[in-house]
Amino acid sequence: MSLILGIESSCDETAAAVVRDGYQVLSSCVASQIAKHAVHGGVVPELAAREHLVALNPVVEGALREAGVTMKEIDAIAVTQGPGLIPALLVGLSFAKGLAMGNGKPLIGVNHFIAHIYGAFLDEAHGVLENPATYPLLALVVSGGHTSLMLIERDGKARQLGCTIDDAAGEALDKGAKLLGLGYPGGPIMQKTAEGGDPHKYEFPRPLTGGAGKPLAPENLYNFSFSGIKTALLYHVKHHAGADGKLPAELLQDTVASYQEAVVDVLTRKTLLAAKNFGAKTIVVAGGVACNSVLRERFEALTPKHVQLRLAARKYCTDNAAMVGGLGWHYHRKQAYSPLNIDSFARLPQITQVPFLGE
């Protein structure tokens, strides 16, 4: 039995968790900074870093207490190394280094993007990853920073089939909410506002789907673009704005529902196309936007019956440390530890292998 302490600080959530043997989450504690950043309409990296400094120690202590273990019983410390906001990442990484050094524990630097994929297999899913019938696996990671399709084979070989060439889907929802004056964070507010609205009332564009009268370039078949949807919303608001420059209340619900529908349609359409073309046996949907009920319902309705659908549990969609600790266990069992001089990284590097598969 191995216990991994996970630490996450890539953006505006300070999180710690204790995970047993890669799957059993004994504790998962998250300190949110939403109220701090809401007044700015988005995450301020320096402010996030300062808040992590305040929250890390009590959050880690809370995770250990909730799990009923002490640092002495922890086998290794896994921490998000990147991608993310550098000021925020540095705080978590430095804290983890000090904790590892002070307690004589090995350190494991974890890729936040891969951890999101792994989060779909926490708790009840032990054995699914080892089953050959699970592969090829197609993962859609969709959040405020990422919108990517990753194909994973049984031996752990991985390749990115497509990604966003401009805004991520979560960013488009956040900025759409800001443009409409709905507040922050945009994703949950947009979903709530759209409830009961007509998603087909207004036709927002579906970029890179070949529906604009032009043939789609082969290199963009699995790529995403959401800046055009956001621009269309801007012009929609200008066209329908009242004397105060804002969208009339009677148009808001249908507008948000139609805007959300455009985002969901593109995400599901491209994912299902890639799954068909590459013969995927499993589709994983993960990342913060995977909390969206319309997106989840659409995948449940449209995923072919012969394809297994794994929607990450909502508590593991948003940034958390359970996914970090769970993924860290796979490094621990191979004794693939990180040196104490590892540095954080902001951008997603090329991924050719996932650590939870292969030797």
145 annotated as a binding-site residue:
yes
116 annotated as a binding-site residue:
yes
200 annotated as a binding-site residue:
no
187 annotated as a binding-site residue:
yes
Question: Residue holding tokens 């990517």?
Answer: 148
141 annotated as a binding-site residue:
yes
3-state helix vs strand vs coil in the chain, percent to 5: 45, 20, 40
Q: Is the CB of residue 19 less than 8 Å from the CB of residue 339?
A: no
37 annotated as a binding-site residue:
no
Tally of helices (H runs) and strands (E runs) in the chain? 10, 10
CA angle 100, 103, 109 (to 5 degrees): 15
Give dist(CA 299, CA 311) in Å, integer: 9
Q: Which long-range contacts (CB under 8 A, 24 or more apart) does 232-240 make?
A: 232/204, 232/205, 233/176, 233/179, 233/180, 233/204, 233/259, 234/179, 236/202, 236/204, 237/179, 237/180
10 Å CB burial of residue 42 (0-12, 13-18, 19+) is middle
Count Cβ atoms below 10 Å from residue 345 Cβ, excluding itself.
Answer: 16
State the DSSP H helix or E strand holding residue 76, giving kind and residue range, or none if neither: strand 76-82
The token pair at 277 is: 């073309």
2 annotated as a binding-site residue:
no
Instruction: List, as residue ranges, the binding site for substrate.
Output: 141-145, 174, 187, 292
Instruction: List, as residue ranges, the binding site.
Output: 112, 116, 141-145, 174, 187, 292, 319
Instruction: List, as residue ranges, the binding site for Fe cation.
Output: 112, 116, 319
